[in-house]
Amino acid sequence: MVKNLIKKESIEAYFTRSDGKYIFARWGRPIAPVVFGIQDETLITLKSALQSMVGLANHELAETDPELGSNAMFFFFSSWDEVLEVKDLDKIIPDLSKLVERLKSIQANQYRFFRFEAEGGIKAVFTFICMDENLFSVSAEVLCLNQVVQMFLLWSDDAFKDNSPTLITKKGGVIINPIIGDIVRAVYDPTMPLVSNDKSHALRAQARIDLLRKN
């Protein structure tokens, strides 16, 4: 059975920000993760999610980044105030105190801070997860895979407001939303650019998805 075609407009929506700008970026360098604030069993789940995404994208994991040491940092907290206790984090993230106050005021439970290469590709991502009641109510598999998907590309700030990047199967397993999986595979193809601010990129991604599905 032939899968439903993904429309160009659907791909555009995943990378068109709330201000109307189309901004796409992906990783070029290998991803060297480090995780803070979770137990060993959840750490294994997070590493498994990373391996799944890397395999899907045909990308690379590394033990260390030669420039940064680690370039994908995951921080799990029970309170946003704990962010301020992380040594030297204020040297990396501008106006950290103001950011924490804003996150508290809007009752956010997650935040991602991206750094970029000179040419615009993703250089590093800092993922902050504040474990509130909503996050405690989901399984570790859902939580970890959701977080990994969202740091793997520079998605729109509206990308997952109405749709989850993951799905739960009838047997209770957790998988990447097939549409998201198709997009990730397509945009990580070596023929696709690291960064784009042109909506024609979505048309190229659509064509690449169609080609990958035929192979």
Please answer whether residues 148 and 121 qualify as being in contact, where contact means their C-beta atoms are separated by less than 8 angstroms: no
What pTM was computed for the model? 0.93
- Phi and psi at 84, nearest 5°, equal -70, -15
Per-domain residue ranges of the chain = 1-23+158-215, 27-139+147-152
Continuous segment of H or E residues that includes residue 33? strand 33-36
Between CA 76 and CA 186 the distance in angstroms is 30
Distances in whole angstroms, Cα of residue 176 to Cα of each of 50, 161, 169, 172, 180: 12, 16, 10, 13, 7
Between CA 111 and CA 159 the distance in angstroms is 14
Tens digits of pLDDT across the chain (215 residues)? 445 678 999 999 999 999 999 999 999 999 999 999 999 999 999 999 999 999 999 999 999 999 999 999 999 999 999 999 999 999 999 999 999 999 999 999 999 999 999 999 999 999 999 999 999 999 999 999 999 999 999 999 999 988 899 999 988 899 999 999 999 999 999 999 999 999 999 999 999 999 988 87
Count of CB atoms situated within 10 Å of the CB of 59: 18
Q: Which amino acid is located at 88 in the chain?
A: D
- Which CATH architecture fits 27-139+147-152? 2-Layer Sandwich (3.30)
The closest alpha carbon to 118, from 182, 28, 212, belongs to: 28
pLDDT at 213: 86
Between CA 29 and CA 11 the distance in angstroms is 24
pLDDT at 4: 62
Count of CB atoms situated within 10 Å of the CB of 189: 15
pLDDT at 82: 96
Please answer whether residues 148 and 46 qualify as being in contact, where contact means their C-beta atoms are separated by less than 8 angstroms: yes
Please enumerate, as own/partner, the contacts of 58-61 that have beta carbons within 8 Å and a separation of 24 or more. 58/185, 58/188, 59/27, 59/30, 59/31, 59/188, 60/30, 60/31, 61/30, 61/31, 61/32, 61/33
Between CA 91 and CA 57 the distance in angstroms is 32
Between CA 127 and CA 100 the distance in angstroms is 13
At which residue do the structure tokens 């801070």 appear? 113
